[in-house]
Amino acid sequence: SQTIHQWPATLVQPVGSPLSLECTVEGTSNPNLYWYRQAAGRGLQLLFYSVGIGQISSEVPQNLSASRPQDRQFILSSKKLLLSDSGFYLCAWSVRGTGRSPLHFGNGTRLTVT
């Protein structure tokens, strides 16, 4: 069965510090991978998605970047965090090529920038 791992679960970082959130998927090959951010108790904003190794699409301009060094690994990074980067970050995967494939989410990372 497929599983998705996202870590850390919670993170408190000072303004100006770097960020690295990691997400890995097991049990599937060539997945689409996504990073979403969720405001408190609200909907999801798509930040980045990837259809393959090294292929990253950004949905919104921001202080963050994403990389996909391996087929089932997706990393969200920042060189210098801003207060506005605080939020709940969710990684997700879906089966490539099928638009109706549901998203399978990790359990998220709660990031607080102080």
Partner 1 sequence: TQLLEQSPQFLSIQEGENLTVYCNSSSVFSSLQWYRQEPGEGPVLLVTVVTGGEVKKLKRLTFQFGDARKDSSLHITAAQPGDTGLYLCAGEGNAGNMLTFGGGTRLMVKP
**Chain contacts with partner 1 (rule: CB under 8 A):** 9, 32, 41-46, 49, 90, 92, 94, 98-108, 110
**String of DSSP letters for 4-28:** EEEE-SEEEE-TT--EEEEEEEES-
Looking at the Cβ atoms of 49 and 74, the one nearer to partner 1 is 49
CB of 32 to partner 1, least distance (A): 7
CA separation (Å) from 51 to 46, 98, 104? 14, 12, 15
CB of 111 to partner 1, least distance (A): 13
Looking at the Cβ atoms of 10 and 17, the one nearer to partner 1 is 10
Looking at the Cβ atoms of 14 and 99, the one nearer to partner 1 is 99
CB of 77 to partner 1, least distance (A): 20
- Report the candidate in 81, 54, 57 with the shortest Cα–Cα distance to residue 67: 54
